[in-house]
């Protein structure tokens, strides 16, 4: 089992945790950012994290691992490899809504595990859950590498993060970094 300290060790070695002034997808600001894509550039580290996620869901029958692009693509694939099921990902359409494309489909009754790299507000995960449910998928759970929501998210299915990490965020109006004259950078995948 990967402990929190071992995961943080992996994050330090792969430079996942960044310091600066960041504009998060939620619109909030933070002095710390988790760029999980950095850990996924190292297959041996990605395999460790995804094997651990798979182990935490191994008692359930999972038919599909589904992740939102971009953060959930490799995560869903590698976790599915360990669970022996299919992997796919959602993408945003021109209108900004999540969709299954590229010929992916969820058959009615298939058991779907949604996977995300970092959960902050849970917005993307909720969109993926809603999409999978609307296609007849049986929602079995949500797995994440990091939960930085402060325990505030409830997806209506079991939520299993490998690591819970508190990262302070601010509204733009209350951001001390902005008051100091710093301009935030947007490191995430959403425009």
The CATH number assigned to the domain holding 65 equals: 3.40.50.2020
> What total of structural domains would you count in the chain?
1
**Mean pLDDT computed over 99-112:** 96
DSSP structural state of residue 99: E
Alpha helix (H) residue ranges in 15-63:
43-56
pLDDT reading at 190 higher than 60: no
**Mean pLDDT computed over 86-107:** 95
Is residue 190 situated within a structural domain?
Answer: no
pLDDT reading at 191 higher than 60: no
Residue numbers of the domain that contains 109: 4-179
Confidence at residue 147, expressed as pLDDT on a 0 to 100 scale: 95
Share of the chain above pLDDT 90, in %: 82
**Mean pLDDT computed over 49-54:** 97
**Per-residue pLDDT band at 86 (split at 50, 70, 90):** very high
**177: number of CA atoms within 13 Å, CB side?**
19
pLDDT reading at 166 higher than 60: yes
Confidence at residue 11, expressed as pLDDT on a 0 to 100 scale: 94
Confidence at residue 25, expressed as pLDDT on a 0 to 100 scale: 78
Is residue 191 situated within a structural domain?
Answer: no
**Residue closest to 188 by CA, chosen among 135, 93, 120:** 120
Assigned token pair, 125: 């995960």
Task: Confirm if 127 and 143 have CB atoms less than 8 A apart.
Answer: no
Is residue 188 situated within a structural domain?
Answer: no
């Amino acid at each position: 089992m990967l402990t929190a300290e071992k995961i943080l060790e992996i994050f330090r070695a792969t430079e996942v945790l960044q310091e600066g002034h960041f504009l998060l997808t939620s619109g909030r600001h933070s002095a710390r950012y988790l760029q999980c894509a950095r850990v996924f550039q190292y297959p041996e580290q990605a395999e460790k994290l995804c094997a651990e996620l798979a182990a935490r869901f191994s008692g359930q029958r999972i038919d599909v691992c589904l992740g939102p692009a971009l953060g959930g693509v490799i995560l869903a694939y590698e976790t599915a490899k360990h669970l022996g099921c299919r992997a796919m990902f959602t993408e945003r359409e021109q209108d900004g809504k999540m969709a299954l494309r590229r010929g992916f489909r969820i058959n009615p009754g298939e058991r779907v595990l949604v996977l995300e790299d970092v959960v902050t507000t849970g917005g993307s995960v909720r969109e993926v859950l809603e999409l999978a449910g609307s296609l007849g998928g049986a929602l079995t759970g949500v797995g994440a590498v990091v939960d930085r929501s402060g325990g505030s998210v409830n997806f209506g299915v079991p939520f299993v993060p490998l690591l819970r990490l508190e990262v302070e965020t601010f509204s733009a109006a209350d951001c001390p970094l902005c008051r100091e004259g710093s301009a935030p950078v947007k490191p995430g995948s959403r425009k």
